[in-house]
C-alpha cells in the first residue's frame, strides 16, 4: 500500500484514532485505553499485517510522556507510526504491547529505565541499564548531582 492508501484504510478501520500523514510514514494516535486492542488489530488484519515492531521510543513532553512505535509489515512492505501518551508525567503509565510484538519487551524496559514510564502487564518490567538510585536521566526535569550527564 502507498501511504495514501494506508491512511485511507486506517481512517476507515479505526474511526476513533487520529490518523494523519507524517514526514515519512502515516501516523496514528490512539488513547492508552485503545492501545493494546489497536496494536493487536494492526498486527492481525491481513490487509495491513504490521507484524514487526522495529523501534519503540519514549518521549518526555511538557505535560505527559509518550511512546512512539515504528511498525513494519514484512508481508506488504509498508510502514507506519503509532503514538500514545500517558495521562500525566508524574506517574506515567501505558499498557504493554509486548504481548503483541515480542520485540517490545526490551524496548519497554529501556523506556522504563530511562524515563520512568511504567508498562501495565509487562512480564519482566525492571531496570535494564541503571540501578534504582539513578532516577530517570532522560526526563527533562532530571537533575544530575555529580554532572555525569551534561546538557
Q: Are 3 and 56 in contact (CB under 8 A)?
A: no
SS3 of 36, please?
A: helix
Question: What is the rounded distance in angstroms from the CA atom of residue 25 to the CA atom of residue 70?
Answer: 9
Q: Which pTM was predicted?
A: 0.92
Supply 81's cell numbers.
507510526
Question: What is the per-residue pLDDT across 26-47, written as a single tens digit (0 to 9) for each?
Answer: 999 999 999 999 999 999 999 9
pLDDT score, position 133: 85
Domain 3-134 maps to which CATH number in 3.10.20.600, 3.40.50.1100, 3.40.50.1970, 3.30.460.80? 3.30.460.80
Nearest to 55 by CA among 80, 27, 77, 88: 80
User: Which residue ranges of the chain lie beneath pLDDT 50?
Assistant: none
Q: How many Å is the Cα radius of gyration of the chain?
A: 16
Supply 5's cell numbers.
492508501
Q: Are 101 and 121 in contact (CB under 8 A)?
A: no
Amino acid at each position: 500500500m502507498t501511504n495514501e492508501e494506508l491512511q485511507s484504510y486506517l481512517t476507515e478501520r479505526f474511526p476513533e484514532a487520529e490518523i494523519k500523514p507524517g514526514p515519512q510514514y502515516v501516523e496514528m494516535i490512539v488513547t492508552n485505553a485503545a492501545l493494546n486492542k489497536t496494536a493487536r488489530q494492526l498486527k492481525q488484519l491481513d490487509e495491513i499485517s504490521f507484524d514487526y515492531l522495529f523501534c519503540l521510543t519514549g518521549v518526555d513532553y511538557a505535560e505527559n510522556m509518550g511512546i512512539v512505535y515504528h511498525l513494519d509489515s514484512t508481508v506488504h512492505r509498508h510502514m507506519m507510526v503509532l503514538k500514545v501518551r500517558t495521562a500525566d508525567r508524574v506517574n506515567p503509565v501505558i499498557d504493554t504491547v509486548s504481548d503483541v510484538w515480542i520485540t517490545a519487551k526490551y524496548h519497554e524496559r529501556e523506556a522504563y529505565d530511562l524515563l520512568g514510564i511504567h508498562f501495565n502487564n509487562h512480564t519482566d518490567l525492571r531496570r535494564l541499564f541503571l540501578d534504582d538510585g539513578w532516577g530517570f536521566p532522560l526526563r527533562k526535569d532530571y537533575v544530575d548531582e555529580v554532572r555525569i550527564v551534561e546538557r
